[in-house]
Amino acid sequence: MAKKGQASMEAMIAIGVLFVIFFVMFMFYNQKNIDLNNTEIELTAKSECFKLSLAINNIFSLGENSQITLNLKNNITVEPEQKRIESESAVCTIITNQVSDQSVLTGQRFTLLEGDITLSNDDNIVVIQHE
């Protein structure tokens, strides 16, 4: 009878050890999954930043009456005086400080909300407006 009890106890210990091993593996997997999701969010924000930066630079270089429509997936802040734009986790530079969200140049910082925007060159000012 003692041997059956001992075998049961050994089986329970073995099951407990396996449970701990699987639990540790699950926690490791879960952390890696969280890291992967955070990396995806960061890369999306950087991609959006680069996309808008390239569009601003292109519109400015193309000259008057040029126009581009973009779809933003994140909010992006434009800082014309510093010649930069920034999203959640990325900062990109632009070649001009002649950028505004109005038809006149104000030089003030402004935020673009996610959605469709139109960039146009009016008198060598890149004007960005929501559609």
pLDDT of residue 103: 73
pLDDT of residue 122: 92
What is the tally of structural domains in the chain? 1
Report d(CA 29, CA 109) in Å as an integer. Answer: 42
pLDDT digits (tens, 9 = 90+) for 49-107: 999 999 999 999 999 999 999 999 989 999 999 999 998 889 999 999 999 998 778 88
Q: Domain range holding 101? A: 38-130
Q: Is residue 9 part of a domain?
A: no
Q: Is residue 96 part of a domain?
A: yes
Report d(CA 80, CA 88) in Å as an integer. Answer: 18
Specify the residue for token string 């004007």.
127
Q: Is residue 84 part of a domain?
A: yes
Is the Cα dihedral 20, 25, 29, 34 positive or negative? positive
Express as a percent the part of the chain with pLDDT over 70: 96
Report d(CA 68, CA 117) in Å as an integer. Answer: 8
The chain-wide mean pLDDT, for the chain, equals 91
Strand partners, 111: 77
Q: Is residue 15 part of a domain?
A: no
pLDDT of residue 8: 83
Report helix, strand or coil for 70: strand
Q: Is residue 91 part of a domain?
A: yes
Report d(CA 43, CA 89) in Å as an integer. Answer: 9
Q: Is residue 33 part of a domain?
A: no
Q: Is residue 44 part of a domain?
A: yes
pLDDT of residue 93: 94
Q: Is residue 8 part of a domain?
A: no
pLDDT of residue 36: 96
Q: Is the pTM of this model over 0.95?
A: no
